[in-house]
């Protein structure tokens, strides 16, 4: 199988000592491509550097709502320049997070709207983050987003009503290892069974959200474990994992406009393995 991890943070310091080995683990597990997601100006730069060093790896640039207070026009200008790199295939992770409130709501909203506008200007799909926004996330998309934007609601864990709203907006739905967790993933398993197959993506959000049973042995998630999400999703949807893998591969490639030849992740800069 060729598997695409549509959202991981290999630019996280959790991988500083063994990043090359983690990428090799992914390759051995059949994970041939990965989207490395930026959340700050620094991590966006790191994502691009990793993507440049490894075939099959791509990058996104954006400011996470947790970091919205540090965003500025200068920041967005720098990210726009980074987005000229051919390895950059998406804008994000951006959105609203009213759970921990690391940034005030109005600041999050301001820069979320600006980032949607910037993504539309550049013709890039968006990687959305939403948590506990009580409908405000969807409202801003309906009222402030440029027409025709595309994107994925990363790490979906919302309600059935929210799911239908996102599908009606034309977005893809990112499924994580939460699907594999007995109690926490029960509602998600019910909803995931009914999502149209052409709107599904799978992801790890590594190093976070380690799936079961890997979570019983390690706290750190990694792209290799996205195979567990795939097999659980196939089970939930009563379909063959290989067939589903092909659909998910095509979905992810279509969203991120990736049509280059050759699925394998290979290192091209040995000095950047660590």
Task: Check whether 7 is labelled as a binding-site residue.
Answer: yes
Task: Check whether 9 is labelled as a binding-site residue.
Answer: yes
Which structure tokens are listed for 53? 């060093």
Residue 198 CA, distance from chain mean position: 17
**From CA 226, how far away is CA 35, in angstroms rounded?**
12
**From CA 13, how far away is CA 258, in angstroms rounded?**
27
Task: Check whether 205 is labelled as a binding-site residue.
Answer: yes
Task: Check whether 217 is labelled as a binding-site residue.
Answer: no
Outline where DSSP puts E strands in the chain: 3-8, 31-37, 54-55, 57-61, 88-97, 126-131, 151-153, 172-175, 200-202, 266-267
3-state secondary structure of 104: coil
Task: Check whether 164 is labelled as a binding-site residue.
Answer: no
**From CA 154, how far away is CA 195, in angstroms rounded?**
14
Task: Check whether 129 is labelled as a binding-site residue.
Answer: yes
**Contact (Cβ atoms closer than 8 angstroms) between residue 132 and residue 97:** yes
**Binding site for a divalent metal cation, residues?**
7, 9, 93, 129, 154, 205
> Which residue positions form the known binding site?
7, 9, 93, 129, 154, 205
């Amino acid at each position: 199988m060729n598997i695409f991890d549509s959202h991981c943070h290999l630019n996280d310091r959790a991988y500083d000592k063994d990043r090359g080995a983690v990428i090799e683990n992914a390759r051995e597990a059949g994970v041939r491509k990965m989207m490395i997601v930026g959340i700050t100006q620094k991590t966006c730069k790191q994502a691009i550097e990793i993507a440049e060093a490894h075939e099959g790896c791509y990058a996104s640039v954006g400011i996470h709502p947790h970091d919205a207070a540090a965003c500025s026009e200068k920041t967005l200008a720098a990210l726009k320049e980074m987005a000229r790199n051919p390895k950059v295939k998406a804008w994000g992770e951006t959105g609203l997070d009213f759970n921990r409130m690391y940034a005030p709501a109005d600041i999050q909203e301001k820069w979320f709207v600006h980032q949607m506008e910037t993504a539309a200007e550049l013709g890039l799909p968006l990687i959305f983050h939403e948590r506990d926004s009580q409908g405000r996330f969807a409202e801003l998309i309906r009222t402030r987003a440029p027409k025709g934007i595309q994107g994925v609601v990363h790490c979906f864990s919302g309600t059935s009503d929210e799911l239908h709203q996102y599908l009606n907006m034309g977005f893809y739905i990112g499924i994580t290892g939460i699907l594999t967790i007995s109690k926490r993933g029960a509602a998600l398993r019910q909803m995931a069974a009914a999502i149209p197959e052409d709107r599904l993506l799978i992801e790890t959000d590594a190093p976070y959200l380690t799936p079961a049973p890997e979570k019983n042995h390690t706290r750190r998630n990694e792209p290799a474990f996205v195979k567990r999400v795939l097999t659980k999703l196939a089970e939930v949807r009563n379909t063959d994992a290989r067939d589903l893998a092909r659909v998910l591969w095509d979905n992810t490639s279509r969203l991120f406009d990736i049509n280059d030849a050759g699925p394998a992740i290979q290192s091209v800069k040995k000095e950047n393995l660590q």
